Structure 1
Amino acid sequence: MTDLIPVGAIAGAYGVRGELRIKSYCAVPEDIESYSPLWTEGRAKQISLAILRPIKNGFSARIPDVASKEEADAMRGTVLYAERGQLPSLPDDEFYYADLIGVEVYDTGGALLGRVKTVNNHGADDLLELQLAGKTDTVFLPFTKAAVPTVDLAAGRIVADPPLGILPDIQTPESTAD
């Protein structure tokens, strides 16, 4: 497990005076400010974030060393991380996305499907992007109780029951014969 958890991202400038547009990944979006100081990738830079006001799809915020629109735009795409110890503990059936990355995924019969590459949410349900075992292909698996009945982080294992059509068809020599 990593000690830094992504809690938001800088979406670019807001206005011309160095304010930033912040997208929060937190269950209570305003909580991102309470985890300040935040970090950039690999603890490269510590950031003290102050939310100014809610705006469409996030917040307007200030960072002390950003004073212009250009400086704010240069930070677009920067992911903001909080230390794990700052975050609330989760119930047994909830997980920080960062903890799922790299975990092996098995089907209900025990066959290795692959590893979790990323966890995405594009506005609907969460999706696990799986790097298929022994392949360069990836597939998206709905992260629901039906499709992913078991997550055992202590054992480093996820059990999945993928809906039909999610996994690519496996071609066997018999199925390709004319």
Structure 2
Amino acid sequence: MEDQICVGTIGGAFGVHGEVRLKSFTADPEAIADYAPLTGDNGQTYEVQLTREVKQGFAARLSGVRSKEDADALRGVRLYAPRDRLPSLPDDEYYHSDLIGVAVYDTGGVELGRVKAVLNHGATDLLEIVRSGASQTVLLPFTLTCVPTVDLTAGRIVADPPEGLLD
């Protein structure tokens, strides 16, 4: 699924008539329906119709989902859209999936590790970096101050981590 971008996840049933709770990862949350049909990590393809906004997402109808049991069975399924259906990004924005696995170097050129995940807990994105030669990870704020350079063409990120973060 290299040419696919995760655009949302199913949170289970919403009500008793086959609707699902859908969490969108798109910049404009309602745009998730514009990228349909979406492919689930379960191998199924779904047309998406948003029915209303609910807490932390949307209630939605997915093609082929007819009952509460069908919807509950999809809890946790991630939904993907082909990269070519998504908008192009400005120079200073990145799809999270493009950052996974990229090598991270300090400003002196020493490799710090590789990006394992991009997390967001509300304030800002964080790069989870697996340190070179270690099993532990470090969370680096994904800000211009801490990450002045992202060069996806060269496959490298230059980081200037806060003092003490890597000790």
TM-score band by shorter chain is over 0.9
Looking at structure 1, the residues matched to 22 and 164 of structure 2 have their Cα atoms a distance apart, in angstroms, of 37
**Deviations, residues 89-121 of structure 1 (Å, cap 9, x unaligned):** 111111000000000000011000000000011
- Cα-to-partner distance string for 1:29-88 (whole Å, 9 max, x where unaligned): 0000000001123x8221111111111111000112112222211111111111000001
Q: Distance in 2 between matches of 1:44 and 1:74?
A: 14
| Residue in structure 1 matched with residue 15 of structure 2 by the alignment | 15
1:1-178 superposed matches below 5 A = 2-41=2-41, 44-167=43-166, 169=167
Equivalence for 1:176: none
SS in 2 for 1:75: coil
Matched pairs, number: 167
Report the AA paired with residue 29 of structure 1.
Answer: P
Residue 72 of structure 1 aligns to a residue whose secondary structure is helix
Identity %: 60
Give the corresponding residue for 1:174: none
Distance in 2 separating the partners of 1:13 and 1:120: 25
Q: Which has the larger radius of gyration?
A: 1
Q: Secondary structure at the match of 1:33?
A: helix
Q: Matched residue of 2:157: which SS?
A: strand
Deviation (angstroms), 1:2: 2.8
Offset of 1:164 from its aligned partner? 2.0
List runs of 5+ in structure 1 lacking aligned partners.
Answer: 170-178
Structural RMSD (CA): 1.3
The normalised TM-score by structure 2 is: 0.96
Conservation of the 8 A alpha-carbon contact between 1:2 and 1:99: no
Runs of 4+ in structure 1 off by over 3 angstroms are none
**SS across alignment from 1:136:** coil
Contact map agreement 1:129 1:140 (CA 8 A) in 2? yes
Instruction: Look up the match of 1:172.
Output: none
How far apart in 1 are the matches of 2:70 and 2:123? 33
Structure 2, unmatched stretches of 5+, are none
TM-score by length of 1: 0.90
